[in-house]
A and B are shown apart, each in its own frame.
Chain A
């Protein structure tokens, strides 16, 4: 039980470091740590398939893409022009107001039940594969077309015009 609160504290801490560190490369590295804590959350929930996909796709593919772009543009120095302090304070207040609203509405809705894993096989690859390829076969195929078009679009956008 206390493991969950420790990991939750770590994810909040690292995500705060992501947005408050000056150097963009440090931000990406802290984001990798944040996503690693999310992977631990998935494993604690026994959602093993999602944990592995989060590990491979987010930490392996997406963040390497971020890091690669940062290195490509040679932005790994602290030259980001900072917003004025007034705008920063306003942004933090706006985000804090949203958080207070969400938590207050949660408090009004009363006490919640405990999350219980009724079926231990729920998040395993076998069960999810069955659901994915029977109930969600068409969206799965459509998402492959989406990935193909995204790949073509990315290559077309990043190509130098001749």
Chain B
């Protein structure tokens, strides 16, 4: 494992921030441009994961284990959120026979 940790010795913090920002923005573009509810959900997962990666990098940069524990809690939360969200999507599909989000506009008024 020692040789693996030498890999990161030469990467600036900025490059990790840029990578996470790019993936976060890809997630936002996915939420804005797709209409399938499950694909939108997957884009949200992508955004959560990019933030997780950045938290881990900051935790290593500051030499503080609390950041990684926080990432662990975010993962537990994401699991709960996915279970409830997919149950809601299944219920919507059973009632309207579609998961197109443009059908779900009754709260717009």
Chain A residues close to B by CB (< 8 Å): 1, 3-4, 8, 11-12, 15-16, 18-19, 24, 27-28, 31, 34-35, 38, 41-50, 53-54, 57-58, 61-62, 65-66, 69-70, 72-73, 75, 80-83, 87-88, 90-92, 94-96, 98-99, 102-103, 106, 111-120, 122-123, 127-128, 131-132, 135-136, 139, 143, 146-147, 150-151, 153-155, 157-158, 160
Answer yes or no: B104 CB below 8 A from chain A CBs. Answer: no
What is the minimal beta-carbon distance from A23 to any residue of chain B, in angstroms?
A: 10
Interface residues in B25-47 by Cβ distance below 8 A to A read: 25-30, 32-36, 38-39, 41-43, 45-46
Instruction: Find out whether the CB atom of B60 lies under 8 angstroms from the CB atom of A47.
Output: yes
Chain B residues close to A by CB (< 8 Å): 1-2, 4-5, 7-19, 21-23, 25-30, 32-36, 38-39, 41-43, 45-46, 49, 52-53, 56-57, 59-61, 63, 65-66, 68-69, 71-73, 75-84, 86-91, 93-94, 99-100, 102
CB contact under 8 A between A15 and B46, given known A58-B75, A81-B100, A98-B28: yes
A90: chain B residues at CB < 8 Å are 32
Q: Jot down 13 A-B pairs with beta carbons below 8 A, ordered by A.
A: A35-B49, A38-B52, A42-B53, A58-B75, A70-B38, A83-B35, A98-B25, A102-B25, A106-B18, A115-B8, A128-B69, A146-B80, A154-B84
Instruction: Find out whether the CB atom of B99 lies under 8 angstroms from the CB atom of A157.
Output: no
Q: Which of A3, A11, A31 contacts B42 (CB 8 A)?
A: A31
Instruction: Find out whether the CB atom of B63 lies under 8 angstroms from the CB atom of A118.
Output: yes
A35: chain B residues at CB < 8 Å are 49
Instruction: Find out whether the CB atom of B38 lies under 8 angstroms from the CB atom of A62.
Output: no
Given contacts A69-B38, A146-B80, A153-B83, 8 further A-B contacts (CB under 8 A): A50-B56, A53-B75, A62-B79, A81-B35, A115-B60, A117-B60, A122-B59, A150-B84
Instruction: Find out whether the CB atom of B16 lies under 8 angstroms from the CB atom of A99.
Output: no
CA distance A10 to B58 in the complex (A): 22
